[in-house]
Amino acid sequence: MPERNAAIVGYGLTEVGKVFGRTARGFAADAVRLAVADAGLALGDIDGLLVNARAGTDLNLSLARTLGLQDLRMLSEVNAFGASAAIMAAQASKAVLAGEAETVVCVFADDPKEENAGGSDAYRATSLTATGFRSAETAAGFTSVNHRYALAARRYMDHYGVTSSQLGAVAVSQRAWALDNPVAQMRTPLSLDDYHRSRWVVDPLHLLDCCLVSNGGAAVVVTTPERARDLPTTPVYVRGWGQAHPGHVLERGSDFGLVTGAAVSGPAALKMAGMTVDDIDLREIYDCYTYTLLVTLEDYGFCGKGEAGELAASGALAPGGALPTNTGGGQLSSFYLWGMTPLVEGLTQLRGEAGVRQVTRHGTAIVSGNGGILDHHGTLVLSTAAA
């Protein structure tokens, strides 16, 4: 465990959702400006910038020039897909603790949603252009990320006896959180019957098992604990981190769908923080699908394997439950900005700024990121206490 813990001292979130006529770079620039201002700093105080972007956007290292940043000591693009936010925050933390930089901004932004196109269109393109051996997947009907996660979810459900209603309980609980989140895209009540009536996407996934598609940007500012003490915001300390990249192979004997990188990344982050799952007040879990949340909770150790479905159905994850999880509505009901979605909500809760949805005990949080088809995982353990 580091003798000193880096601190996240600011975050910025642009307007998210159906926001058209803007580019990823524009969203990113605004998110950085918002985060820096939130921290009580100026752009000239920034000496490190880490950029995360989906392929095909206009967001890249030139963001530094767009912002007028000069004399940076750290500048890089980081991409482990949805795991990137956690990994960027860890890299920034290591950099400021090692003296490689003093104040580093981590940013993600995206602009996939088009005014007259379906939400999944932007994410289908890469599958449709697969070449070589992978083109056999396309010929077999695997034309989107949804198909591949459906394969994982079906295997998980069949192996552990998890039901569709238990997946639905995740969607219902997160919608309940979103009702009191002013930035959430989905703020109408949702029942389990509503979930079952939602159209099928790919068996066993209904529409409400799948995350939103959002335009927008988010950024966080990481600095030294010494610098944090002089700033006006409540510092949130990065107590632990971990990452894992399982390299699943889709063949007989693989544990694809049953065990994820969370099983390595989570315990590593908790060990660095000197904590166990019993010390965690808030769980902000990457929920690209309802299934992903369940398997991550299990792999982190909040319950046994195959037990997260029952946990969700019990109401434990919902407002008023014993294990408040995805307290802003998550990617299913709030917004989808890769790993920045759970990170921003974790910071909001830890700083006591969540308003009506504020959780009473909010001293510690675990934040997850998942990238690819369960290919990458990043975990952060955050706390309002430095040690």
- Catalytic site residue from 149, 195, 286, 291: 286
3-class SS of residue 299: helix
Tell me the C-alpha distance between 351 and 355, whole Å.
11
Please state whether beta strands 200-202 and 236-244 pair in parallel, antiparallel, or not at all (unpaired): unpaired
Tokens of 63: 């963001």
Catalytic residue among 11, 149, 300, 336: 336
Respond yes or no: is residue 289 known to be catalytic.
no
Q: Report the distance separating Cα 87 and Cα 91, nearest Å.
A: 6
Question: Dihedral of the CA atoms 141, 147, 148, 149 (nearest 10)?
Answer: -170
Q: Report d(CA 300, CA 367) in Å as an integer.
A: 11
Instruction: Identify whether the C-beta of residue 346 lies closer than 8 Å to the C-beta of residue 282.
Output: yes
Determine if the peptide bond prior to 204 is cis (ω within 30°). yes
The reply to whether 11 belongs to the active site is no
Q: Residue 255 phi/psi, 5° resolution?
A: -100, 20
Q: Say if CB 237 and CB 383 are below 8 A apart.
A: yes
Query: Phi then psi for 99, rounded to 5 degrees?
Result: 80, 10
> The tokens of 349 are what?
């809760």
Catalytic residues: 286, 336
